[in-house]
Amino acid sequence: MEEMTIRLKIVKTGFPYLNNKDIHLSTSLAHEFVFRTHQQISTARNRKPNIVLPRVTFPTMKRSFLPALLFPILLCTCAPSPQAETEPAETRPDIEARLTELNIELPVLGTPVANYVHAVRSGDLVFLAGKGPTRADGTRVTGHLGDDLTVEQGYEAARLVGIQQLAALKGELGDLGRVKRIVKVHGMVNATPDFTDHSKVINGFSDLMVEVFGERGKHARAAVGMASLPGGIAVEVEVVVEVE
């Protein structure tokens, strides 16, 4: 086949720097061009199946093999720009390993005794029912802050509540790595009227969430005092969590 040149004018593509540009191909490069173009077609279609094809005009044409080039030329210009490529999915954190590092073993929660459930999911949010401070042996921390319990004891009680809520969340999700953010914490402290360190008590819960989830564990929060709580428990916490 004698050497010749084909000039193709690219009218509109997804690449601004190619628009209204001419492409010159010699016959000696035609076969290589077609081969590489078909490779790009496959990649482009896999990444962006609904892409709109550009328009191409042909100011000059000297050989009959041009139709064989037309189809791959149209599609090769459809490859998405680097900005449009899908980023790889973020690897889920290994929360189980983190719990092991913290020497935390999550309990298996029983069925609630009243007409409620441990967790309700609505869209990407999980609402956790209020939980109290339950020790590993099943006993609860009871008493009033400012009278029966110190701030340090209240802090540890709030941390125990955090473990209960992690167990409830795992029961709902199966994998705590699916947690995207601890969104809102509502902490209630059973306290005397003159007690004012409610926030220091609920820090026991908040600190645990950050220890377990890192930045994802940081949340909006309320820490309020109560004249009493169910069963005389020292602390109760409700939680809203964003999940995958």
| Separation between Cα atoms, residue 241 and residue 218, nearest integer Å | 11
Q: Residue 179 pairs with which residues in a beta bridge?
A: 243
- Quick check: is 89 in a domain? no
* Residue span of the structural domain in which 52 resides: 5-84
Q: Is the pLDDT of residue 169 over 60?
A: yes
Q: Is the pLDDT of residue 144 over 90?
A: yes
CATH number of domain containing 183:
3.30.1330.40
- Quick check: is 220 in a domain? yes
pTM, to two decimals: 0.65
Residues 140 and 66 in one domain: no
Q: Is the pLDDT of residue 231 over 90?
A: yes
Does residue 210 or residue 7 have the better pLDDT? 210
Mean pLDDT of 24-39: 58
Q: Is the pLDDT of residue 75 over 50?
A: no
Residues 237 and 140 in one domain: yes
Q: Where are the beta strands (DSSP E) in 42-201?
A: 56-57, 119-122, 125-131, 179-190
- pLDDT per position as a tens digit, 40-57: 655 655 665 554 444 444
Domain count, the chain: 2
Q: Which of 201, 179, 181 is nearest to 190 (CA)?
A: 201
Confidence of residue 167 (pLDDT cuts 50, 70, 90): very high
Residues 156 and 101 in one domain: yes
Q: Which of 23, 26, 6 is nearest to 76 (CA)?
A: 23
Residues 48 and 102 in one domain: no
Q: Is the pLDDT of residue 73 over 50?
A: no
To the nearest whole percent, how much of the chain has pLDDT over 70? 63
Mean pLDDT of 121-133: 98
Residues 28 and 80 in one domain: yes
Residues 113 and 72 in one domain: no
Tokens 């949340």, located at residue: 219
